Amino acid sequence: MKILSYNVNGIRAALNKGFASWLKATQADVICLQETKALKEQVETQFLSDLGYYHYWFSAQKKGYSGVAIFTKQKPLNVVYGSGIEHMDNEGRILRVDFEEFSIMSLYLPSGTNPDRLLYKFKFMNEFKEYVDQLKKEFPNIIICGDYNICHQAIDIHDPIRNQTVSGFLPEERAWLDQFLKSGFIDSFRYLNPEPHQYSWWSYRANARNNNKGWRIDYALVSKPLQSSIQKSYLLPQAKHSDHCPVGIELK
């Protein structure tokens, strides 16, 4: 099974940049999107039916903000919209599909763009970990794909010294991701790719993408019972519908 995860920074903008033909070429079985910035009704979804995808959308209450989606060629046994935690679900940040063998979640973790949002980010992170700790008891085989808005280690960011006081690379954020992984998850990309200078997000400023001055903040985290199933994991920086690039994982 081929699973992709992609923060599209607006699905309608991505469609205008050729997202539909790109998706067809990937032949992905499942794709998790973040930051869709649209209600399902605002998107021409016929291309998804034409490509054989069932599609599920969970949007923020605030229009044009946040939002996640999952497109899947295999119909899930169950679809869960949100976490049941109201403040998270108001922002449309969690969507899960359950299959017989495992579950896949699309996650869009908040960014800490200002002091208030940074406080909210930590609240979200702490409650999300508690939620997942409980969820794993019922669904031990889970893949949480998405934009975590955190670089884990110095290897995951182009300038670790200058960015150590910037949200996304704060010691407290990195420590949280460390604990989250230690609670029973594998960073599937790092599991198979130890090389540096591999990123999933670049600023639109200062020609950052062409100079590969990026951050790796998008992950496909796989629960440990699925470790032996991981065959491939990769980034797709050639896909340029967004300031992020897709993350890919293939499971046998």
Question: What backbone phi and psi angles, to 5 degrees, belong to 116?
Answer: -65, -45
Task: Label residue 69 by pLDDT band (50, 70, 90).
Answer: very high
Q: What's the pLDDT tens digit per position in 149-180?
A: 999 999 999 999 999 999 999 999 999 999 99
Instruction: Single out the catalytic residue among 29, 98, 147, 187.
Output: 147
- State how beta strands 103-108 and 142-147 pair: parallel
Q: Assign 52 to helix, strand or coil.
A: coil
Residue 198 is predicted with a pLDDT of 98
Separation of alpha carbons 161 and 171, rounded Å: 12
Cα separation, 241 vs 22, whole angstroms? 9
CB 6 within 8 A of CB 31: yes
Tokens of 83: 């976490």
CB–CB of 216/203 below 8 Å?
no
DSSP per position, 71-126: EESSPPSEEEES-S-HHHHTTT-EEEEE-SS-EEEEEEPPP--SHHHHHHHHHHHH
Amino acid 16 reads N
Q: Where are the domains of the chain?
A: 2-251
Residues 223-234 pLDDT 10s: 999 999 999 999
Q: What is the pTM for the complete model shown?
A: 0.98
Q: Which CATH superfamily is domain 2-251 in?
A: Endonuclease/exonuclease/phosphatase (3.60.10.10)
Write the DSSP string, 75-90.
PPSEEEES-S-HHHHT
Residue 147 is a catalytic residue = yes
